[in-house]
Structure 1
Amino acid sequence: MHRHRFFFAAFVATAIAACSTIGAMSAWLNNQVSYSAPQLQRYLDRRFPRDFDKLGGLVSVTLANPRLSLPPGEHRLRLEFDMGIGALGGQGAPSGHLALSSGLRYDAATQGLHLSDPELLQFDLPGAGSLLKGGARGIVNSLLAEYARSEPVYRLEPDLLEKLPAGKRIGAVDIDDGRVVVRLQ
């Protein structure tokens, strides 16, 4: 009886390994690969909280608890953060909220998917007067532009990039039916 269990377990392990190998080999099936919101979310969870210094260190912006969604029927992702702003070298505890909508683009230098044309949807900073809020909004817009330029929302796996078909390179990145689709050209 133990021998049958051993052979069954060995068979299951071999089948799982074969399936994962087949999945990796066919990742570029139809010249595309797709990612779900949970895959991108796991990447973001490992990279936050983060502090960003602005205005030569006079202002510090803390972003924490990223929440990524791919709303059905939309061609842009939604990304939300808890946010704090500190001044003169102090860090602000995340007490505010930031939400944005964005497309995605591929950057070969980082091998990652970056925000493309991010649009600020919501910006709440409790306790800030309208004057500070207006100045803070400018800082947040500057932060979004910097983040979109240099920080990937998701970095493609090196083994996937090694399997690019000959003569192909990454082209468009689309958001279709609740999935991020990376297409080859």
Structure 2
Amino acid sequence: MRRTPLVALALILLSLLAGCATLGAVSAWLNDQVAVTPGQLQRQLDRRFPRDFDKLGGLVTVTLANPRVSIPPGDSRLRMEFDLGLGALGGEGATSGRLALASGLRYDTATQGLHLDAPELLQFELPGSGELLRGGARGVVNSLLGELARSEPVYRLDDDLLDKLPAGRRIGDVGIEGGTVVVHLER
């Protein structure tokens, strides 16, 4: 006879657990914002890299691999680091260099993603290259950063999350607050 309350309690707990994923998406918008952690950004980037980018009409190939995302304490910009390789005439370059950048983020409705906003090149190392090559390569990398900022999201918002936007609301500003990326809603 005592099994009935235990079974009922177990069913209630299972129902609550099953609804947690949906509840998380809905409750995220209750405060007119949703937070994205550096770990969430890292997982999406890990699935999309390494990548090769042809520049200068295919004369140069830039390889970006092993993305590393961080938000330094007290900073309002995202920091990203990549292993870097340059290849000439369609050849792949070994990733012997390193690239670091800092950037704000913005939301793009076309990609439903967070994109770099005004990326700044912090570090550019290409061992074994002369200063002249390094200067030319730096220009290619800056061009690549501009292209990435326009077309490649750092993070795509989940369709389920976007489907649960409150009526009359849309994605507004994106900022970095307390070590997380915060996507704000506006009317």
Tell whether the structures are fold-level matches, with TM greater than 0.5.
Answer: yes
| Distance in 2, Cα, partners of 1:114 & 1:16 | 33
1:88 and 2:89 correspond: yes
The structural deviation recorded for 1:12 is: 5.3
2:180 is aligned to 179
Secondary structure of the corresponding residue to residue 85 of structure 1 = strand
Q: 1:81 to 1:9 in 2, by over 3 A?
A: farther
| Distance in 2, Cα, partners of 1:12 & 1:133 | 60
Secondary structure of the corresponding residue to residue 28 of structure 1 = helix
Secondary structure of the corresponding residue to residue 76 of structure 2 = coil
Q: 1:89 to 1:13 in 2, by over 3 A?
A: same
- Letter of the structure 1 residue corresponding to residue 42 of structure 2: Q
| Distance in 1, Cα, partners of 2:96 & 2:116 | 24
1:111 is aligned to 112
2:61 is aligned to 60
- Which 5+ residue runs of structure 2 have no aligned equivalent? none
- Letter of the structure 1 residue corresponding to residue 24 of structure 2: G
1:74 and 2:75 correspond: yes
| Distance in 1, Cα, partners of 2:152 & 2:33 | 23
1:31 and 2:32 correspond: yes
| Distance in 2, Cα, partners of 1:45 & 1:155 | 13
The structural deviation recorded for 1:118 is: 0.2
The structural deviation recorded for 1:165 is: 1.0
Cα RMSD over matched residues? 1.8
The structural deviation recorded for 1:30 is: 1.1
Map of 1:136-155 to 2, 5 A cutoff?
A: 136-155=137-156
The structural deviation recorded for 1:72 is: 1.3
The structural deviation recorded for 1:11 is: 6.1
- Letter of the structure 2 residue corresponding to residue 96 of structure 1: G
- Letter of the structure 1 residue corresponding to residue 106 of structure 2: R
| Distance in 2, Cα, partners of 1:114 & 1:121 | 18
1:165 and 2:166 correspond: yes
Q: 1:11 to 1:57 in 2, by over 3 A?
A: same
- Letter of the structure 2 residue corresponding to residue 132 of structure 1: L
| Distance in 2, Cα, partners of 1:12 & 1:80 | 43
Secondary structure of the corresponding residue to residue 26 of structure 1 = helix
The share of aligned pairs that are identical, in percent, is 70
- Which 5+ residue runs of structure 1 have no aligned equivalent? none
The structural deviation recorded for 1:21 is: 2.5
Q: TM-score, normalised by structure 2?
A: 0.92
1:128 is aligned to 129
Secondary structure of the corresponding residue to residue 63 of structure 2 = strand
Q: TM-score, normalised by structure 1?
A: 0.93
Q: 1:10 to 1:97 in 2, by over 3 A?
A: farther
- Letter of the structure 1 residue corresponding to residue 96 of structure 2: S
